[in-house]
Every structure is written in structure tokens, then in C-alpha cells.
């Protein structure tokens, strides 16, 4: 009887699952057909193209994080754009290209900067944008910055404007650079957790919070040294842009307690008195000023958003057949294996370098690094591909962004030339290993571990057991070997002796300017300068184009990108019902669509995908 019941239950379960699977396939089939219909209707609709008129102002109002490379895939971004979702990332390359194109475009009269919604951007990233703004001004065009409230990072861009307008009730406060961390030693001791840190270099402080309750003297010394260098460059840049003495700006900051009180707490007035801004103006007053400067159009000034302008420029430019300088982006933590965009993968990033090497149209390679490091093995895979690319006769130039430290320096060391911004964070040539075990923690709960092993190493890294000192010696020996390997490779790449590298390594961090003084960097400059150097090394002169070497889009991704890039994307957005847009914005639906984008029509695959989320 029990077997019969089980049989009935299994049958019911089978039919229930079949029904669910049918409904799932039907729903997504309908969505796919609906999107296909929208696509063809949009194509037929045509029109809607942006027409750029004379005396137009380009509005630069990036929202979210400014990154080297998107952290989401093309399909996700395309769906978000087509269905009215906000993308909270902007690529640095797109901003630079747009500003430079506008500088040469006679239809663009001025640049209007609205920096308030920049969420995150490194100092070197902001410096590169500032340099592009200066090129725009050098073309004889005006730049106006309009802000409600600015952080010191946002101000680094605004300071390059000919005129800076701040809301009367807004604020601008320059505070300097700080690095404060949370330390856990007492808490871990109280929990009974044993922490074992293996490292080479007294300045390799990444894991100090687990073994100390405060920063070590070496950590404070090194951090303050490079931060003073970066902060000095910041003051120098805004001082130069605003025609102010950097020392006077620094003195004002130190005197804030008095000056803010004297201004009755009015930070906007204080910024005006300090000549950090030119005028206090509400939004409507700023808009009226811009109308007066330009052309009135639809109750505002004639303008185009930088994203719309970038699309327009791309459409207007014909197919470029010139020789290529290939740019490979290494952004984020360095991890083993194949990784998505926004993260450096030992296998995936090495493959991109290899593709650049094997592409006959690419005559030189620029490795754009913005990474704090990670896996040493993954770093070595990428470094080796750089070495092979040079051996194949293609120049490799490294361009360091905000940070290229530790593993980020490892993958950079073999470049024919290394470029860094003065504010780049680099160096940190060192290695560490961290292991935690918690037998004392378990003992507090009256839980114990026991057993046997065929050798003394069997189960030695079981976190429930105490670490055998002999095993600790083994790990430290491996770390020592890794460090010697690191400095030996750097010495060979930089044509120095290992002991010379050791003296400036030992995990110590430097600014880009400090690294150049110590021979770890060849030139100070950004991606633009590195690309020009790559073209020169390949003897291309000025006759070249820049191509980013990235993962190829699948057929599904190309379809979605074409849909979102079409000039009638706004028409698509208006056509799609709100309920459908809401459905497509759901994380589980986007996950299913991402899965669909990974399918290869030439292969038969079995996919296990859980349409679920635990909260």
C-alpha cells in the first residue's frame, strides 16, 4: 500500500512539474515574441533621430560610479536602458571620448558640468576627466559647472570650469584624505579564533586588522607618505585650475573651525569667499544664465545630454579601417579562472591579451590597469601573456588608473613602458597568506574535534583543529618563495637588482609620482598618453584608432544591444506597458534572460537554474 501511495505521489509530482515547466516556457516564449515584435515595429518606426543644432550646450552629468569597464553584461544594460531603468555606471572612456569629440564639434558651443550625482570615482579618474575639460577649453570653448552640493571629489572636476555656480543653500567642504580601518584582534580573541598571518614585508598591512587592535607604525608611516603625495597633487590641480595658491587652500582647510564660525555656518558663502566658486545661484538662476549665454529652447537652454551626444557621434562617424591600438582593461580584483567584466580573471584577461596579440589589425597593446591585486597565480598568467606579446613583436604599454598595486603591479611590470597618474596608488610589492582556525571557539560550546590521519599533513588546514607549528613553517616558506619570485621578476622587468627592488617593495604603497622617482613607473600620464606611446612604438604616427579588446557579444546580446541603441529606443519604452517593464526589471527574470544570452546555438547543454531567492 505504501509503495502504491509513493507511486501516486510521484505521478502527481511529475505532472505538476511538467505543468510548471510548460507555463514557464510559455511565459518566456510570449515575452520573447513580444520583444521581437517591438524590435521590428521600432525599426519600421525609424525617425526619432537626434538632430544637433548650432550653439548647443553639451551637458555632462554622469550618474553613479565612473568605471573603466561596466560590471554588468551588455544584455542587462540594454534591457535597463530600453525599459527605463537607470544604469549607475559610466565608463571613463566614454566621458573622455565625448568631451574630446565635442571640443572639435562646431555645433557644441559650451560644456555644462553637473557633478552632483557622481557616486564614486578615483582621484586619477577625476584627473583624466579634468585634463579632457582643459582640452575642451583650449579649443576656445566655455565650461560652466552647476551644482547644488559637491564633495571634494566632485569638485575636482568642477574646478576646471571657467565659471562655477553653487546653490546658495549648498555646500562645498574640502577635508583632505584619510584612511581609517576597523581592527578585530580583541573580538577574535574573545571568540577564541586563532589568526595566523604569513607575510613578507613590514609594510604589507592588508591583514593587520585581524592580528592587531591598531595600525602598526609602519602602516601609518607608509599611508601618510603616499596620501600626503596624492593630497598635494589634488591641491596643486585645483589651485592651478582656480588660480589659487595650494598652500593658501591648505591653510584655509586647517582654519575651518574659525572661518565657518565667522560665516555663521554658511558653507556656500565660505566657498565663495575662498574663491573656490564664482557665484551663488539657485537652479533656476543658473538656467537663466545659461539661456542668456546660449539659445533658449523649450523653456531652457539648447542642450544635449552627453550619452545622447555619444550615440550621435558614433552614428555619424564612418567605419574606421585604420591600424588599431588594442586596449585590454584589467579592472577589479584579480581572481582565478574565467571572470565577468568588472573583475580580472586569470584565464579570461589572459585570453583577451592573447586575442590582441593574434589579431593582425592590432599593432600595439595598452594594458589599462585599475586593480588592487588578488591571486598571485592569476596575476602570473596575465603577466606571461604580456611577455609573450612583446616577444611576438607587438609593443605593450601599461596605463595605470586609480590603483595598480600588488597583483595589479605584477601584471604591469613587463610593459615596455609603464604610465601612471601622479595620484595613482601603486607598488605594494609583497605577498601574504591568512589562515584562521577556531578550536577554542568550538570548545566554548563544548564541541570538540578528534580523529586520525595517515600523515602529519592530513587535515592540517582543518579550521576546527589547532595549526601545527610545522605546517606554519611550511606556509611561511611558500610565502617567502612567492615574495622572492615577485621581486626577482620585477627586477628583471625593470632592469634592476632584486635587492634594489626589495628596498622599495616589502609591501609598501607609493603614489604614481613617488613610484616614478623610485623606478617602478616610467612616465606620468593617463590613458591618452599611453595610447599615443603605443602608437609611436608601433610606428603608426597619428594614423591609428583605439579599439577595446573585450569579450565578444552573443547573438542574443547583439540583438538586445541593437534594440537599445536604436534611435527609437524611447519609442520602445513608451510602447511597452508598465506591467511588462516591471516584470522585466525583476532580478529573477533578468537572471533567466542572462542565462538565455549564454546559450550557444552550436552546442547542446544541460543547465541547472534555480528560479529562486532566499532572503
Active-site residue, 399 included: no
Please enumerate in sequence order all residues whose Cβ is within 8 A of that of 103, keeping only pairs 6 or more positions apart, or say none. 135, 136, 138, 139, 141
Same domain for 304 and 431? no
The answer to whether residue 528 sits within a structural domain is yes
5-38 per-position pLDDT tens digit: 555 555 655 566 666 666 666 665 656 555 555 5
Same domain for 436 and 302? no
CA distance 271 to 249: 11
Which residue is listed with cell 579564533? 193
CA distance 486 to 489: 5
Contact present, 154 and 127 (Cβ < 8 Å): no
Which grid coordinates belong to 64?
553613479
Specify the pLDDT at position 280.
98
Burial category of 555 from C-beta neighbours within 10 Å (exposed 0-12, middle 13-18, buried 19 and up): exposed
Specify the pLDDT at position 566.
44
Final residue before a domain boundary, out of 548, 573, 608: 548
Same domain for 328 and 312? no
The CATH number for 312's domain is 3.90.226.10
Same domain for 411 and 309? no
Final residue before a domain boundary, out of 548, 575, 608: 548
585-595 per-position pLDDT tens digit: 444 444 444 43
Closest CA to 553 of 563, 543, 542, 541: 563
Same domain for 380 and 300? no
Same domain for 423 and 286? no
pTM score of the predicted model: 0.82
Closest CA to 166 of 275, 301, 306: 275
* Residue ranges of E strands in 406-487: 417-420, 425-427, 431-437
The answer to whether residue 258 sits within a structural domain is no
159 C-beta neighbours (distance < 10 Å), count: 25
Specify the pLDDT at position 611.
33
For residues 488-511, b (16+ Cβ closer than 10 Å) or e, as one string?
A: ebbbebbebebebbbebbbbbbbb
Provide the pairing of β-strand 344-345 with 334-335: parallel
The answer to whether residue 511 sits within a structural domain is yes
DSSP states of 54-103: TTEEEEE---EEEESS-SS-HHHHHHHHHTTPPP-EEEHHHHHHHHHHHH
The answer to whether residue 505 sits within a structural domain is yes
Closest CA to 230 of 302, 328, 125: 125
CA distance 177 to 11: 66
Specify the pLDDT at position 594.
42
Contact present, 378 and 334 (Cβ < 8 Å): yes
Specify the pLDDT at position 158.
98
The answer to whether residue 34 sits within a structural domain is no
Hey, is 555 helix, strand or coil?
helix
Q: What residues make up the domain containing 411? A: 324-548
Which residue is listed with cell 547573438? 555
The answer to whether residue 178 sits within a structural domain is no
CA distance 240 to 132: 15
Which grid coordinates belong to 217?
607604525
Same domain for 356 and 282? no
The answer to whether residue 420 sits within a structural domain is yes
- SS (HEC) of 165-207: EECCCCCECCCCCCCCCCCCHHHHHHHCCEEEEEEECCCCCCC
Same domain for 363 and 297? no
How much of the chain exceeds pLDDT 90, in percent?
72
Q: Determine which helix (DSSP H) or strand (DSSP E) holds 314, and give its type and residue range.
A: helix 306-316
CA distance 502 to 490: 10
Active-site residue, 204 included: yes
Total domain count, the chain: 2
505-515 per-position pLDDT tens digit: 999 999 999 99
Which residue is listed with cell 511588462? 580
379-438 per-position pLDDT tens digit: 999 999 999 999 999 999 999 999 999 999 999 999 999 999 999 999 999 988 888 999
Specify the pLDDT at position 16.
62
CA distance 399 to 385: 16
Exactly one of 204, 351, 394, 489 is catalytic; name it.
204
Same domain for 452 and 376? yes
How much of the chain exceeds pLDDT 70, in percent?
79
Same domain for 308 and 345? no
Exactly one of 406, 564, 568, 597 is catalytic; name it.
406
The answer to whether residue 457 sits within a structural domain is yes
Same domain for 507 and 408? yes
Q: Any long-range contacts for 238-243 (C-beta under 8 Å, 24+ apart)?
A: 238/155, 238/156, 238/159, 238/276, 241/130, 241/134, 241/159, 241/160, 242/159, 242/275, 242/276
Same domain for 388 and 289? no
Residues of the chain with pLDDT under 50: 2, 41-47, 565-576, 581, 583-615
Final residue before a domain boundary, out of 548, 570, 599: 548
Specify the pLDDT at position 467.
92
Amino acid at each position: 500500500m505504501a509503495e502504491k501511495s509513493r507511486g501516486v505521489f510521484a505521478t502527481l509530482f511529475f505532472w505538476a512539474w511538467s505543468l510548471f515547466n510548460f507555463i514557464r516556457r510559455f511565459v518566456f516564449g510570449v515575452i520573447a515574441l513580444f520583444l521581437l515584435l517591438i524590435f521590428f515595429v521600432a525599426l519600421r518606426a525609424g525617425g526619432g533621430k537626434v538632430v544637433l543644432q548650432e550653439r548647443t550646450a553639451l551637458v555632462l552629468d554622469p550618474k553613479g560610479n565612473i568605471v573603466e569597464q561596466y560590471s554588468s553584461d551588455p544584455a542587462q544594460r540594454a534591457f535597463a536602458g530600453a525599459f527605463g531603468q537607470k544604469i549607475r555606471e559610466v565608463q571613463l572612456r566614454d566621458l573622455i571620448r565625448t568631451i574630446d569629440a565635442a571640443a572639435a564639434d562646431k555645433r557644441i558651443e559650451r560644456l555644462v558640468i553637473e557633478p552632483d550625482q557622481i557616486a564614486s570615482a578615483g582621484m586619477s579618474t577625476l584627473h583624466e576627466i579634468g585634463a579632457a575639460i582643459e582640452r575642451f577649453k583650449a579649443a576656445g570653448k566655455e565650461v560652466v559647472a552647476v551644482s547644488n552640493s559637491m564633495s571634494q571629489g566632485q569638485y575636482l572636476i568642477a574646478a576646471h570650469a571657467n565659471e562655477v555656480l553653487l546653490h546658495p543653500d549648498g555646500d562645498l567642504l574640502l577635508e583632505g584624505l584619510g584612511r581609517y580601518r576597523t581592527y578585530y584582534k580583541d573580538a577574535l580573541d574573545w571568540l577564541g579564533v586563532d589568526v595566523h598571518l604569513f607575510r613578507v614585508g613590514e609594510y604589507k598591512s592588508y591583514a593587520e586588522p585581524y592580528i592587531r587592535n591598531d595600525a602598526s607604525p609602519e602602516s601609518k608611516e607608509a599611508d601618510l607618505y603616499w596620501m600626503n603625495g596624492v593630497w598635494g597633487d589634488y591641491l596643486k590641480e585645483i589651485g592651478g585650475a582656480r588660480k589659487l595658491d595650494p598652500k593658501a587652500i591648505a591653510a584655509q582647510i586647517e582654519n575651518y573651525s574659525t572661518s565657518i564660525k565667522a560665516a555663521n555656518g554658511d558653507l556656500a558663502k565660505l566657498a565663495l569667499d575662498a574663491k573656490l566658486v564664482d557665484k551663488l545661484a539657485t537652479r533656476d538662476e543658473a538656467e537663466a544664465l545659461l539661456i542668456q549665454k546660449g539659445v533658449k529652447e523649450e523653456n531652457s537652454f539648447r542642450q544635449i545630454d552627453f550619452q545622447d551626444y555619444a550615440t550621435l557621434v558614433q552614428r555619424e562617424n564612418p567605419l574606421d579601417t585604420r591600424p588599431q591600438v588594442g586596449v585590454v582593461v584589467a579592472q577589479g580584483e584579480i581572481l582565478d579562472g574565467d571572470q565577468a567584466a568588472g573583475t580580472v580573471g586569470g584565464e579570461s584577461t589572459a585570453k583577451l591579451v592573447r586575442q590582441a596579440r593574434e589579431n593582425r589589425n592590432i599593432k600595439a597593446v595598452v594594458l589599462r590597469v585599475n586593480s588592487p591585486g588578488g591571486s598571485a597565480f592569476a596575476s602570473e598568467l596575465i603577466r606571461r601573456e604580456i611577455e609573450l606579446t612583446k616577444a611576438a613583436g607587438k609593443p605593450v604599454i601599461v596605463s595605470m588608473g586609480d590603483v595598480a598595486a600588488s597583483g595589479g603591479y605584477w601584471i604591469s611590470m613587463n610593459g615596455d613602458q609603464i604610465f601612471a597618474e601622479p595620484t595613482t596608488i601603486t607598488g605594494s610589492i609583497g605577498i601574504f597568506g591568512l589562515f584562521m582556525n577556531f578550536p577554542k571557539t568550538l570548545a566554548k560550546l563544548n564541541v570538540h574535534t578528534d580523529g586520525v590521519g595517515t600523515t602529519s599533513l592530513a587535515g592540517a588546514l582543518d579550521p576546527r583543529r589547532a595549526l601545527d607549528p610545522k605546517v606554519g613553517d611550511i606556509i611561511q616558506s611558500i610565502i617567502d618563495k612567492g615574495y622572492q619570485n615577485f621581486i626577482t621578476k620585477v627586477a628583471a622587468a625593470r632592469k634592476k637588482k632584486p635587492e634594489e627592488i626589495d628596498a622599495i617593495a616589502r609591501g609598501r604603497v607609493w603614489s604614481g609620482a613617488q613610484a616614478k622617482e623610485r623606478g617602478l613607473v616610467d612616465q606620468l600620464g593617463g590613458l591618452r598618453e599611453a595610447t599615443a606611446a603605443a602608437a609611436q612604438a608601433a610606428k603608426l604616427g597619428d594614423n591609428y584608432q583605439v579599439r577595446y579588446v573585450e569579450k565578444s557579444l552573443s547573438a542574443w546580446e547583439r540583438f538586445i544591444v541593437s534594440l537599445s541603441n536604436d534611435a527609437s529606443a524611447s519609442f520602445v519604452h513608451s510602447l511597452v506597458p508598465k506591467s511588462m517593464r516591471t516584470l522585466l526589471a525583476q532580478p529573477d527574470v533578468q537572471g533567466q534572460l542572462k542565462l538565455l544570452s549564454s546559450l550557444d546555438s552550436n552546442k547542446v547543454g544541460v543547465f541547472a537554474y534555480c528560479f529562486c531567492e532566499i532572503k
